Amino acid sequence: MKRRDALRSLALLTGGLVLVPSCDFSKEDILDAYQNLQITPSLKQLLADIADSIIPSGNIKGAADISVQDFILVMVNDCIEEEGQKTFMNGLNGFEDYSKKTAGSSFGKLDQKQKESLILTGLSTEEESQKEIRDFLRMTKRFTTQGFMMSEYIQTQVKPYSLIPGEYKGDVLIADIKTERING
């Protein structure tokens, strides 16, 4: 009886070892959070790099520091129609090739000035062959700015949101009032 169990185990182990080389473990997993988009971790990191090039960190945190790429993907997944999602995905998938063709290197290996120049070139291109890259970058720029300005970090630490215009001070001279100019 024990010999049969040993032979069965040996047969299963041999069969498993024969099948292992045919398995492809190199393919990246697709993130399940975005039902309408086929996003892999490397594409998400590329989007984070693009967003961080649009709003880099300096005196305040940058776009990648507050995970604006998650906001971008949620907005594209939930709020953009199917044709726009297709354009976004084609642009995101083709952005590395565009970077290699235009700048001569992959986007992650470029320095900040080259990244900014590449994005500006992509935004201003009028070539019909680069339409998906241009539309992808426009959508990414719009959602990066929106997600950054609406983030908890900006609304609580940089420019705290106030529900009412300000507190009431009854006896203040007009000459002493200093207004904040947030938009100009």
Length of the chain: 184
The pTM of this model reads 0.74
Q: What is the pLDDT of residues 134-176, one digit of tens each?
A: 999 999 999 999 999 999 999 888 887 777 776 777 777 877 7
How many helices (H) and strands (E) would you count in the chain? 7, 0
DSSP 156: I
Q: What is the pLDDT of residue 184?
A: 43
Domain borders along the chain are 39-160
pLDDT tens-place string over residues 32-55: 677 888 899 999 999 999 999 999
- 3-state class of 167 per DSSP? coil
Distance CA 134, CA 41 (A): 23
Torsion angle, CA of 69/73/79/83, rounded to 10 degrees?
A: 120
